[in-house]
Structure 1
Amino acid sequence: MDWLRELLKKLGVEDSKLDGIIAEVSKELPKHTVPKDKYNELSEAKKKAEKDVADRDKQIEELGKTAGLSEDLKKQIETLQTENNSAKEKYEADLKELQLTNAIKTALTGQVHNEKVVTGLINKEKLVIGDDGHVVGLEEQLTKLKTSDAYLFKDDSQQQQQTPPGFRVGGGGNPNPPAATASLKDAIAAHFQK
């Protein structure tokens, strides 16, 4: 939320109040916004549905023009039904692929060294999207990969030790301040006395 910090600074908000404001915004923002991957997924589905409706409207219009040709009309209807069914199946497969890809990316974010490599090792055919949108089978595959190819994943202890960027109250000081500066002669003498 660096963008928010910069915006608030420009508006003259004191540095001492920034962390509190940003913490509150971080807590409330997810309640009122849609995650980007979910938005992209729904946007793609909407575009595809609009295109399918336009294609079907065009097909119906063509059927209306040829309504007088009974036998040809029956054949054309059968052909269009077949095409529509295959288009629907392709749409559902594309939507499932998009949902799986987004779920995998979300699960891997910050946990792997190379997301593309790990994504390629996941067998999407064994994954099932539940009614609640949860991907069944992903955790099992990730657990197996963590066991068999642990070098692809970041060490959990490293992730916990990394401090997140941001302002730290009282931070930046030296936790072990050196003793009063000693002369070179005193330092050498102290070293050889040990």
Structure 2
Amino acid sequence: MNREELKALGLSDEQIDKVMAAHGKVVNDTKKKADEVDGLKTQIDDYKKQLKDRDNQLKDLGDKAKGNEDLTAEIDRLKQANKDTQTEYEGKLQKQVFDHKLENTLAGAKVKNTKALRALLDMDTIKLDGDKLLGLDDQLKALQESDGYLFEEVKQEPAKPSFSTGQHQKPSGSAPSTLLDALSQKFTETKN
């Protein structure tokens, strides 16, 4: 959304400045988190490449060490250590993706304090399925009802007064409420 669109909605310059400032903060926070996730993904890709290189080196070394039982046992131990490390890094990546998606979803739900709200969530029932968090929506709805203070209030825009361009007349004998009514009444009286 840009300034022209907000102006077309009838917002004042001051209101537009406030909306743009709030929107800019949200965009910058989201961009910062996305950059962090991208950096972590790059690191994990590097670790995966390093593990693959080590596995290849161990395989080559194992082929050269045929017949030496101690060396073969050490190579097998190192291969298992590499697999364990890879599993650990993949688990960390999944947790980071889950946490990032959860934080973005909570921010979209207008949660005031995500840390406090997370303490109330049953995290065991929330699962990441692709890019969706299953089991979160029902919990958020229940918390909005029971602990609404954790969420920002959705403010309704007050209704804008509508002005009629047509003429209207007060019944004769009633007091005019505005200058326009008084002039209109006076004009009608002089005309008759």
Smaller-chain TM-score range? 0.5 to 0.7
Q: Distance in 2 between matches of 1:88 and 1:124?
A: 25
Q: Distance in 2 between matches of 1:161 and 1:77?
A: 69
**RMSD of aligned alpha carbons:** 3.5
Question: Aligned pair 1:48/2:37, yes or no?
Answer: no
TM-score norm. by structure 1 comes to 0.54
The answer as to whether partners of 2:106 and 2:114 remain within 8 angstroms in 1 is yes
Partner SS, residue 109 of structure 1: helix
- Give the counterpart of 1:134 among 132, 135, 149: 132
Q: Distance in 1 between matches of 2:49 and 2:133?
A: 29
Return closer, same or farther for 1:74/1:39 CA change in 2, 3 Å cut-off: same
Q: Distance in 2 between matches of 1:65 and 1:81?
A: 11
| Aligned residue runs from structure 1 range 172-183, under 5 A | none
The letter for the 2-side match of 1:80 is L
Deviations 1:135-181 (A, max 9, x none): 1112122123223322211223x2x449xxxxxxxxxxxxxxxx99x
Structure 1 position 41, deviation (Å):
2.9
Q: Distance in 2 between matches of 1:148 and 1:85?
A: 46
Structure 1 position 118, deviation (Å):
1.5
Partner SS, residue 154 of structure 1: coil
Aligned length: 135
TM-score norm. by structure 2 comes to 0.54
Return closer, same or farther for 1:125/1:78 CA change in 2, 3 Å cut-off: farther
Structure 1 position 125, deviation (Å):
3.0
Gaps of 5+ in 2: 9-29, 159-177, 180-192
Aligned to 1:155: 153
Partner SS, residue 145 of structure 2: helix
Q: Distance in 2 between matches of 1:125 and 1:60?
A: 38
Aligned to 2:123: 124
Gaps of 5+ in 1: 6-17, 24-34, 163-178, 181-194
Q: Among the aligned pairs, what percent are the same residue?
A: 22
- Give the counterpart of 1:105 among 103, 106, 113: 103
The letter for the 2-side match of 1:72 is D
Deviations 1:69-118 (A, max 9, x none): 63124322332332233223222221221122111221122612212221
The structure whose Rg is larger is 2
The letter for the 2-side match of 1:19 is E
The answer as to whether partners of 2:58 and 2:79 remain within 8 angstroms in 1 is no
Q: Distance in 2 between matches of 1:74 and 1:123?
A: 47
